[in-house]
Structure 1
């Protein structure tokens, strides 16, 4: 049944050359699983991507129940945790994954740095990777406010005050973030929109560019 379905799709879209091009791509010897330590170090990028996919899927689940207003935000989070089937597990995955993805990305960037993989001809890919790191950090900052509890509120207030200290443009950045002089309904709505619309669009675009350049330049050699 599966083969018939695949053949029917392949006859119309010719998908076999696409996945065969990926599957048949040679892997450098220093990334060979036989060298366990080297292969493990080179897995940080793939593990980061796996966690990002998990964050996207769990976030889509949470978004079906979350209400981005100051009256119902905390209640909706409680409802997800206490009432929704497997809601506590999915929320826990999303919560801990937000920290884990930063750790794995940091380890991946350390590997790239210490193996010299940021040098020519991969300088642009390093820049894109740094931009991805900033986007992931922005995910953490905007998502932290969404439960709308005391810890989230005051942590965001501190973050806004830090942003205000940026020379010349600090006050404008703070106003852009919180939507006014104080944290309120507009702040929560703005953070939610940034978290689920703007940042995912930026992340997917940067990841696509990152993978294209990896495909073009190949995996960097050992130290």
Structure 2
């Protein structure tokens, strides 16, 4: 059935050459775990992307129930966990996935650094990867407030105070994140939700696209 659908689309759009150009390429022997046990370190990037996909899918499900205002944010999360079928599992995946993706990204970054894969001609891809690292950290920080419980509230207040201490632009950063309020409030929650769901994911998709294009053109880096 799927083959018939693919053939129908391919007959009209001719997607096979496009797909072959994207997917069909040689994988170097040094990244094959069957030949080299150390090749497992090259899986960190793919595993990071896999967890990111899980975060996107689970996050899309969560936004179907989440209400981003201070009166209903915690109630919507509680309803999701207690009333929605499998809601607690999906929220747990998103919650723990936020930590796992940072760990995997750190391992991938360390692998690239210690194997010298950031050197010529891959400097631009290293810059894109570092930007992605900060995007993921930003997603973790903005998502932490959304359940609107005591831990999230006070942790965000600490984070905003740290941001405010940044030289020269600290006050502007806090105002951008928290709004005009002196404490974490309705504006903060609304802004964190918008940044977490719209702005940072949009930047992440652009950077991921650039990252994959550069990997496709330059190939997978070799061992040190």
Aligned to 1:165: 165
Aligned to 2:208: 207
The yes-or-no answer on 1:124 pairing with 2:124 is yes
Name the TM-score, length of structure 2 as normaliser.
0.97
1:175 to partner: Cα distance: 1.0
1:34 to partner: Cα distance: 1.5
**CA offset digits 1:202-222 (Å, max 9, x no partner):** 000000000000011110011
The number of equivalent residue pairs is: 223
The yes-or-no answer on 1:194 pairing with 2:199 is no
Provide the C-alpha distance between the structure 1 equivalents of 2:63 and 2:57, rounded to a whole number of angstroms.
10
Aligned to 2:152: 152
Aligned to 1:49: 49
Provide the C-alpha distance between the structure 1 equivalents of 2:135 and 2:158, rounded to a whole number of angstroms.
19
Provide the C-alpha distance between the structure 1 equivalents of 2:21 and 2:176, rounded to a whole number of angstroms.
45
**Structure 2 matches for 1:32-43, cutoff 5 A?**
32-43=32-43
User: Where does the alignment leave 5 or more consecutive residues of structure 1 unmatched?
Assistant: none
* SS, match of residue 47 in structure 1: helix
Provide the C-alpha distance between the structure 2 equivalents of 1:207 and 1:23, rounded to a whole number of angstroms.
16
User: Where does the alignment leave 5 or more consecutive residues of structure 2 unmatched?
Assistant: none
1:99 to partner: Cα distance: 0.2
Q: For the aligned residues, what is the CA RMSD?
A: 0.9
CA contact (8 A) 2:30 2:36 kept: no
1:48 to partner: Cα distance: 0.2
**CA offset digits 1:22-46 (Å, max 9, x no partner):** 4420011101132352221000000
Please identify runs of 4+ aligned residues in structure 1 that moved more than 4 A. Answer: none
**Structure 2 matches for 1:1-223, cutoff 5 A?**
1-180=1-180, 181-223=182-224
Name the TM-score, length of structure 1 as normaliser.
0.98
